Amino acid sequence: LAKQSGKNRYHYYDLARDQLIREYHHQLSRLTSALEQGELLLHYQPKVDLRDGQVTGLEALLRWQHPELGLLTPENFLQVLEGSNAELVLGQWVVSQVLQQMEHWRQQGMVLDVSINISASQLQQQDFADKLLQQLARFPLLSPAQLGLELLETAALEKVAQSIQTLLTCRAHGIRFALDDFGTGYSSLSYFRNLPVDMLKIDQSFVSNMLNSPEDRNIVDSIIRLARAFNREVIAEGVETLAHGAMLLQLDCHYCQGYGIARPMPASAVSTWMQQWQQARVWENMPSPQPE
Ligand code: C2E
Ligand code: MG
Ligand code: MG
Ligand code: MG
């Protein structure tokens, strides 16, 4: 199309492309300086056991406290980083932040499991496992078993053989793995069977719709059965109400996470939230599972 419209069109596209590249570099350097300026931080969202409401751990979620735009979530900025060196730098930073926070909690008597989201390019670094284990070694009083890593199906399935080696090395030290957003990627059952992961994390799109959509409920049900058939644990994300929790319990899911339990919160709010959660015994008010 551009060819037919003559040379001026090329000129237009070049300008547009240059503009995009400039914007990209601008955003990338803005984000790098955000990290240096201490504008990036982590929020933590609890995960609970569906059977008794016990808090089983937290997921660390990246935030950018932007001086003009306020608190930004990853969808606003993470994509710019994809495949860049800054993504790896940020990934390292997240790990070290989380470990420091876990050590801080430990000193306050709270031994908490925390999971971290890992990007495809992080996982595919040859020395990913070595670096992670080195970072862990700086905190001898933390157990590697307190650390969970969440991978997108797609991330784990690129360069499968290498990913499996990385997973096995980390798991030999007790670190656990979950496949995030499960059901939205393209993993075949045979890949899945060979992937050394401990947990499936059902994508929130299926979970949040399952009360109205029988199809989504069937998908959730199938993933839970799949996990159990392969001796994997299973967690549902996107649990927005207690009714979601009740249905998941009925479907025999192990754990859940979502706004219905708690929104992601600053690290400083976690201990108060945990006390209130236990005191309120919210779980006792959960409707008991209805027979089908
Ligand atoms: P994710 O790992 O699947 O995380 C779940 C997302 O769902 C989070 O969004 C969380 O705030 C949100 N969420 C939790 N409960 C509910 C709910 O009940 N309803 C709805 N509608 N949403 C809920 P967030 O924090 O914006 O993160 C988005 C994605 O960004 C994450 O998806 C993860 O893939 C990525 N991400 C977050 N932090 C990091 C990080 O440190 N490193 C990397 N590589 N990726 C990260
Ligand atoms: Mg996640
Ligand atoms: Mg997810
Ligand atoms: Mg997601």
Lookup result for tokens 């914007």: 23
What is the number of helices (H) and of strands (E) in the chain? 12, 10
Q: Is the pLDDT of residue 58 over 90?
A: yes
Helix H or strand E encompassing 101? helix 85-107
Helix (H, G, I), strand (E, B) or coil at 138: coil
Q: Of 180, 197, 242, 272, which Cα lies nearest the Cα of 48? A: 242
The pair of structure tokens assigned to 3 is 């060819």
Q: Which of 89, 237, 248 to mutate to test the pocket of ligand 1 (most atoms within 8 A of CB)?
A: 237
Q: Which of 64, 101, 117 to mutate to test the pocket of ligand 1 (most atoms within 8 A of CB)?
A: 117
Whether the ipTM is more than 0.85: the answer is yes
Helix H or strand E encompassing 243? helix 242-250
Assign 5 a pLDDT band (cuts: 50, 70, 90): low
Q: Is the pLDDT of residue 125 over 80?
A: yes
Q: What is the pLDDT of residue 239?
A: 96
The pair of structure tokens assigned to 36 is 């240096």
**Cα four-point dihedral sign 162, 98, 148, 245:** negative
Per-residue pLDDT tens digits for 10-38 = 677 787 888 888 888 888 888 889 999 99
Assign 8 a pLDDT band (cuts: 50, 70, 90): low
Distance of CA 12 to the CA centre of its chain: 40
* Pairing status of strand 255-257 against strand 40-49: antiparallel
Per-residue pLDDT tens digits for 217-275 = 999 999 999 999 999 999 999 999 989 999 999 999 999 999 999 999 999 999 999 99
Q: Is the pLDDT of residue 75 over 50?
A: yes
Contacts of 215 (CB under 8 A, 6+ apart): none
The neighbourhood of ligand 3, an ion, using CB within 5 A, equals 180-181, 237
State the ligand closest to the CA atom of 208.
1
Distances in Å between the Cα of 139 and the Cα atoms of 58, 99, 100, 102, 168 are: 19, 7, 8, 9, 21
